[in-house]
């Protein structure tokens, strides 16, 4: 059974200049047919940069799949846990944390969600 854990800065695997999915063109990704498809550029996403919802840093995503994570304003994972209530208790143990955003990182093979069914 995995336990909730705080993630220290020394554990981050990000590079000096983190990939910014709001600005950088998304990287090419192999398709199911083996061809490298480049995602459609989404320049219009840059318009609203004030949104508080930040995407998780791609550099760290794989190790947190299937877990709830707390993200810093830069999209770095600062804590993770198996369940939502465990994570909230962990990140707010020492006081309010309005700076973090909580979400669950889906499994790599998670089906596409199209409603409650």
Partner 1 sequence: VVAWTFRHVDLQEPWHPDGTRILRPAVPLLRSPGTAQLVGVIDSGSPISVADARLFGQLGVDVDNDPPLYEVGLTVAGHFARAPVFAVTLWLNPPAGSGAAVSWNLPLVARRGWRLPFAVLLGQRGWFDRFPTRIDAMSCTVEV
Where along the sequence are the contacts to partner 1 (CB under 8 A)? 21, 26, 28-29, 31-32, 37-40, 42, 44-45, 47-48, 50-53, 55-56, 61, 70, 83-85, 88, 91-92, 96-98, 100-106, 108-110, 112-113, 115-117
DSSP one-letter code for 9: G
H-type helices in 54-113, by residue range? Answer: 84-91
Closer residue to partner 1 (CB): 11 or 73: 73
In contact, 64 and 77? CB cutoff 8 Å = yes
β-strand partners of 103: 69
Closer residue to partner 1 (CB): 11 or 22: 22
């Amino acid at each position: 059974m995995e336990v909730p854990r705080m993630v220290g800065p020394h554990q981050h695997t990000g590079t000096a200049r983190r990939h910014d999915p709001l600005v950088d063109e998304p990287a090419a990704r192999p398709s199911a047919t083996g061809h490298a498809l480049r995602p459609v550029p989404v320049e219009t996403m840059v318009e609203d940069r004030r949104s508080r919802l930040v995407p998780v840093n791609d550099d760290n995503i794989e190790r947190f799949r299937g877990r709830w994570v707390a993200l810093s304003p830069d999209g770095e994972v600062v804590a993770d846990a198996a369940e939502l209530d465990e994570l909230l208790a962990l990140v707010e143990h020492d006081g309010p944390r309005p700076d973090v955003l909580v979400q669950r990182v889906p499994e790599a093979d998670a089906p596409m969600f199209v409603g409650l069914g």
